[in-house]
Amino acid sequence: MARQRRLFTRQEELKPLWESLVVNILSVQEMKLMPTFHDACKFATIVEMLADDDAHTTVTDHRILEQKEAILADIAQYQTKIKRELVRLYVSQPTIGGTANLDTTSIGETEDVDFSILDRATTLFKCDSSWQCTALLPYPTIFEHVHVKKFRDSSFTMLNHLKPEVMARPTAILLLKDLGLPEDTPAIAKFG
């Protein structure tokens, strides 16, 4: 129990430092989805730092800076896992008259995945957190949606509240065709 209390104390020390690190990272480089504090506490680098000397060593700015490169690597791995799960959700969605063309059983932890699917204007996720909500948003915008944000304790928990919308893709494809644009048009394309 004493060790658990020390670990909790180390997490409390880490929390403001983590928030500061996230602000610093976002000011230097564009990252589409930053881990929640809850998710960051599961990173191997952070777990090791919190447990250092049986959780007796205080978490400081200096210790965070010493581990910054490893933490950045953990963040990149985290973002890849989130994107992998979104692709799995998207390619396994049923489509009008059948199922999607891709076999999601082949999407393993080490398999190459075409993440460009997430950048297409036709790849839209529905907020499934509220039965009244009809929001259809692309990645990463869906993670900033008000209903999705309330589940931000863990982004992986939040994935349970995202569903690809069956009608969104065919509708988006029709709209793109009417605009004379290819089906693989990026979601961030500027029109006008």
User: Which of the pair, 79 or 92, is modelled with greater confidence?
Assistant: 79
CA-based torsion, 137, 141, 144, 148: positive or negative: positive
pLDDT in tens, 120-138: 888 888 877 766 787 888 8
Between β-strands 125-127 and 98-99, what pairing exists: parallel, antiparallel or unpaired? unpaired
Residue spans of the domains in the chain: they are 2-81, 97-178
User: Of the given ranges (43-52, 78-87, 128-137), which has the lowest mean pLDDT?
Assistant: 128-137
pLDDT of residue 66: 95
Residue 106 pLDDT > 50: no
Backbone angles phi, psi at 81, to 5 degrees: -65, -45
162: exposed, middle or buried (Cβ count in 10 Å: 0-12, 13-18, 19+): buried
pLDDT averaged over the chain? Answer: 80
Alpha carbons 63 and 56: distance in angstroms, whole number: 14
pLDDT of residue 16: 96
Residue 72 pLDDT > 80: yes
Residue 68 pLDDT > 80: yes
SS3 per residue for 144-189: HCHHHHCCCCCHHHHHHHEEECCCHHHHHHHHHHHCCCCCCCECCC
pLDDT of residue 36: 86
Per-residue pLDDT band for 8 (boundaries 50, 70, 90) equals very high
pLDDT of residue 104: 43
